[in-house]
Amino acid sequence: MRIDMKDKINRKLKRDRENVFYKIFKRHFQETDHQESKMKAYKVISTIIVATIILTGCKVTVSTEVSLKDILYGETRTITGDLHVEVAGCSSHEDSRKPSASIQKAQQTIPSIFADAEYLECFSQGFKSFAHFKVPFFLDKDKDGKLASEKHINILSNKDTLLWVGIPTAIKENLERARSNSYGSNALDLSINIKVNNDTGKDFPFAVVASYVDGKPYVFGNLTSTKGKGPFVVTLSDVSVSDALENGVAMVLNWDFPEVEQ
């Protein structure tokens, strides 16, 4: 049977009436000044879209740098770190002299998750924009069964653990609360990078567990930091980050694993 075109249009209009954006347009188009109401509707929808970008899918990358001498022979202390979070843009579309809504949101959210986070700047790389914060880490050299800081990310190192990462319960709970407020379990996805400088003056063998070294993935493996070659960067895998969040600590680097005969 041929469906009448008018009937098809009526059905489509009925479906559209159930759409939230249609309702927004309808409310504004019913105002006296048609052009003014149209602009208001666009503004409302833009606000909804921007808010969604701000609150969901943000990648949070925290980074710090340590030397092998600090890991091997240092004492418990605070070390400087950086945090970068992707934002929709740096400046307001209405007034470029003012920060964007996403920057304002980041300035509120990040310090509520990571204690003592200090906003530094916003910058763009290609088509992406990032808010940059300074955050403290703790180098934990004490083998006492507890983290050196219950508010900051810890780098644990002692005679039994070459380099483990500790994330206190406070950060986990803060992340979960922020994700809940953002209506997305993938919001504020956490990534951790650690740059390690070999300042020992000699080759240094080590084992890596469930992490990337200079971008190459390892489930586990034995590697060597060659003297004079420069630093290497360790990036925790998603599994390791989840392990640190759920269990408080995650093994990242350790002493050489014994070779297994095939």
pLDDT above 70 as % of the chain: 74
Contact 168, 245 (CB under 8 A): no
Q: Tokens at residue 171, please? A: 């950060």
pLDDT category at 20 given cuts 50, 70, 90 is very low
Q: Tokens at residue 203, please? A: 């080759």
Distance CA 94, CA 104 (A): 14
Distance CA 46, CA 69 (A): 52
Q: Tokens at residue 151, please? A: 């508010």
Q: Tokens at residue 10, please? A: 């009526």
Distance CA 177, CA 75 (A): 33
More confident residue, 46 or 177: 177
Q: 35, exposed or middle or buried, with CB in 10 Å at 0-12, 13-18, 19+?
A: exposed
Angstrom CA distances, 160 to 69, 157, 177, 199, 210, stand at 16, 8, 34, 21, 18
Q: Which of 4-13, 117-126, 183-192 ranks highest by mean pLDDT?
A: 117-126
pLDDT for 57 equals 55
Q: 44, exposed or middle or buried, with CB in 10 Å at 0-12, 13-18, 19+?
A: middle
pLDDT category at 5 given cuts 50, 70, 90 is very low
pLDDT in tens, 39-72: 444 443 343 334 333 434 578 999 999 999 999 9
Q: What is the mean pLDDT of the chain?
A: 82
pLDDT category at 3 given cuts 50, 70, 90 is very low
pLDDT category at 10 given cuts 50, 70, 90 is low
**Residue 88: how many other CB atoms lie within 10 Å:** 20
Spans of all domains in the chain = 5-54, 58-254
pLDDT in tens, 135-157: 999 999 998 889 999 999 999 99
Concatenating the DSSP letter of every residue in the chain gives: -PPPHHHHHHHHHHHHHTSHHHHHHHHHHTSS-HHHHHHHHHHHHHHHHHHHHHHSS-EEEEEEEEEHHHHHH--SEEEEEEEEEEES-SB-SS-TTSB-HHHHHHHHHHHHHSTT-EEEEEEEETTEEEEEEEEEEEEE---SSS-S-SSSEEEE-SSS-SEEEE--HHHHHHHHHHHHHTT-TTTTEEEEEEEEE--SSS-EEEEEEEEEETTEEEEEEEEEE-TTS--EEEEE-HHHHHHHHHHSEEEEEESPPPP---
Does the pTM surpass 0.85? The reply is: no
**Residue 232: how many other CB atoms lie within 10 Å:** 17
